[in-house]
Amino acid sequence: MELITVVNLKIVILILIYRHGDGRAVFRSSVREFLASEAMHYLGVPTSQVASLVVSDEQVWRDQFYDGHPIREKAAVVLRLAKSWFRIGSLEILTSNGETDLLRKVVDFVIEQHFNKIKDSKEKYLEFFSQVVTRTAHMIAIWQALGFAHGVCNTDNFSLLSMTIDYGPFGFMDTYNSDFVPNTSDDEGRYSFSNQPSAGQYNLAKLLDALSPIIDLARALYKRMVSRKLFVNSSSQGFDLVRADKKNLFMDENPFSEYLIMQKPCDLAAGL
């Protein structure tokens, strides 16, 4: 039974800070997050959800289309809920600061709360890593199947629970385009739709690095070797599940449902 829900007050959208420096979320993107995270939840993707959305009296200037025509928009505060807000980056920072005791404490806490079955396992940290690989591969497979591009796939925005978090410049594709990039300032397409599986793989390799102070080096090396295969396998399974689900959900009534499947596992694997 999951009893813990951690609350995170989101009042900041990163792209807007960089461009405008006032650090406020606008009503428009807050509604987008609310709608998209509900949709993702009901499509079976593990995700954070929006508990409340408060519109502020304050107005902010935004150049919505980045064409030099800023308009006044309403600001808003979104209350986001998730079972945990720990990210791969939360462990990386501890490892890079040499805070091994704290690293162990945080990982033990996450295992105790969310990976309870492995808490008494002899190699629980490696076990933990494998589970994050499996679940993250699964999550990304579902993203690919739905045509969802997260937009900011760095280790800070990848949950240790493999939930979709940090709805920022995300997007759903209208028609299939493997180069789809939802973040208008991601000029190089670093986090394009088709780069998501390899971005996920990269982040998982960083997770293994972050865990290195508390796991045996030889075992870690071996793990690195098998994790790619595990990732590919799990993505295929995730993809098949979505396909099966979609068949159940829409196939009979909706002749377009087959087009909802955006990217096949062989493409996923090819991207790695």
Ligand X SMILES: *[C@@H]1O[C@H](CO)[C@@H](O)[C@H](O)[C@H]1NC(C)=O
Residues serving a catalytic function are: 156
Cα-Cα-Cα-Cα dihedral sign, residues 2, 159, 52, 35: negative
Token pair for 223? 């793990």
Cβ-contact 143, 240 below 8 angstroms: no
Instruction: Measure the CA angle with vertex 12, ends 11 and 13; round to 5°.
Output: 135
CA atoms within 13 A on the CB side of 152: 14
Minimum CB distance to ligand X smaller for 127 or for 186: 186
Minimum CB distance to ligand X smaller for 105 or for 190: 190
CB of 254 to ligand X, least distance (A): 31
CB of 260 to ligand X, least distance (A): 25
CB of 237 to ligand X, least distance (A): 9
Name the closest residue to ligand X (Cβ): 168
Residue of 95, 46, 82 whose CA lies nearest to 207? 95
Which residues contact ligand X (rule: CB under 6 A)?
Answer: 14-15, 152, 156-157, 166, 168-169, 183, 185-186, 190, 226, 229-230, 233
Cα 208 from chain centre: 17
Minimum CB distance to ligand X smaller for 131 or for 183: 183
Identify the H or E element spanning 60. Answer: strand 49-62
CB of 255 to ligand X, least distance (A): 33
Minimum CB distance to ligand X smaller for 5 or for 185: 185
